[in-house]
Amino acid sequence: MRLTQYLSQAGVCSRKAASRLIAEGRVQLNQKTATPHTPFRGDESVTVDGQRVLLSEQHLYVLYNKPVGIDCNCRADDPASIIHHLTLPRRLFPVGRIDKDSRGLMLLTNDGRLCHRLLSPQYEHPKQYEVQARPHFQNSALNPEFKKKMEQGVVLDGQLTQPCQVTLLSHDRFKICLTQGLNRQIRRMCRALGYHVVDLQRTHILQLSLDELAEGEWRHLTRSEIDAIKAQIFQ
C-alpha cells in the first residue's frame, strides 16, 4: 500500500490531496518527515500536522446540499472551508468539488477506495446539473443551436469536451449531464458560446439526488443507496 492510499483510506483526504500534503512536508512516518520517495511498509506511525492517523474501521457516506459561498477545500485556515460549516460525526472528505459560487449535491466519505473510483476519469460516472445562463451581449434565449453545440463538445484550452446530454428547460435554464470533470467546466463551456452562468446547481451524482434535502443540510446514505452505488462503480 502506498502512503497516499493509506491517508485516503484513513479518511484524511483524497490521494491527490495526500500527495500535496507529503510534498509540503506535513506528513511524518515514525516522527520523521516523509517525502514523495519515502518507502512505506504500512506498520509505521503516521501523523499529519502532528495528529496520529489510523485506518478507519467503519466507512461513512454522507450527502450534503452545499450552499453558495462554501469552499470544498478542507483547510482549517480558510473561514469558507466546508469543515467549518458541516458538523459531522467523523472526519470525512468531499468526493470531487463544487465551485464556491455554485451549489448542490455533494458526497462525503472516508472510503478512499470508493472515492478513488468515483473520481477516476476512466470510469465516466454521470453527474447532473441545472443551470441558469444568460447571453453576454446579444438578446438571445437558449436555443437548439446552443444545445447542439454543448452536446457535441466545446473547445476549452485546445481540448474538445466530451459529448454530454443537454435538456432545455426554459429560455434561460437547462439541464446537463456530464461524465467529465474539468475545472469549472460548465461555466467555461457557456462562456465559450457567449453565455454567462447565473446559477449552477448539482442535482444528481449517479442515482443519488437532492430530493427533499434542504440547502445546508446533510444526511447519511441508506444501506440500499450504498449497496447500489458500490454495485454500479465496482461492477
Position of cell 506498520? 43
C-alpha 162: how far from chain center:
18
Alpha-carbon gap, residue 175 to 177, rounded angstroms: 7
Strands lying side by side in the sheet with 46-48:
32-33, 27-29, 46-48, 51-52
- Provide the greatest CA pair distance for the chain: 64
The question of whether 71 is a catalytic residue gets the answer no
| CA-wise closest residue to 15 among 105, 100, 77, 95 | 95
- Rounded CA-CA distance 189/61 in Å is 31
Give the residues across from 132 on adjacent strands.
Answer: 173, 199
Candidates 78, 99, 172, 199; catalytic one: 99
Q: Which residues are catalytic?
A: 99
